[in-house]
Amino acid sequence: MKPETIIIGLIGLAFSLFYGLKATEIFLSSGTYEDQKWSWKFHQFWLNFIGSLTGWISLLVIYPGISDCIQNNLAYSLKLSDVLLFFLSFIGITGFLPMTIVGLIQGLKDIFAKALGLLNLP
């Protein structure tokens, strides 16, 4: 394993812990957090920690190919999977992966509800 991969991994772990511990302060209005039960607090920690960690792991997956191309002055052949992984890593690293997934699920739920409403099902 390359030293820069270890450094990126340690930075990712530190930031994932930060988002796990502080995301509720970042994303929620004040007073909301203090009134919640420990189970909700743990869930928020876990959700945001895993979301951020997913972003950092995605970055580690695409990093070696990009790094080798830069170091060897080679043209990089961009694939759709690279674009998707970069998008996933950006959303995760910035702490928005849980919110994005929840929004996507809610959007799909709304689409299905409207589609079923158009069919006039009982």
- Average pLDDT of the chain is 86
Pick 36 or 122 by higher pLDDT.
Answer: 36
24-31 long-range CB contacts below 8 Å, 24 or more apart?
A: 24/48, 26/95, 27/95, 27/99
Cβ burial 101-115 (10 Å sphere, 16+ → b, else e): eeeeeeeeeeeeeee
Question: Where is average pLDDT lowest: 35-39, 86-90, 101-105?
Answer: 35-39
pLDDT in tens, 16-69: 999 999 887 887 766 666 677 888 889 889 999 999 999 999 999 988 888 888
Neighbours of 78 (CB within 10 A): 11
What value does the mean pLDDT take over residues 93-101?
92
Per-domain residue ranges for the chain?
3-118
Pick 73 or 19 by higher pLDDT.
Answer: 19
Is the Cβ–Cβ distance between 60 and 9 less than 8 Å? yes
User: For 101, which DSSP code?
Assistant: H
DSSP string, 23-62: HHHHHS-TTTTTTS-HHHHHHHHHHHHHHHHHHHHHHHHH
Give the HSE-up count for residue 14: Cα atoms under 13 Å, Cβ half-sphere.
6
Is the Cβ–Cβ distance between 19 and 49 less than 8 Å? yes
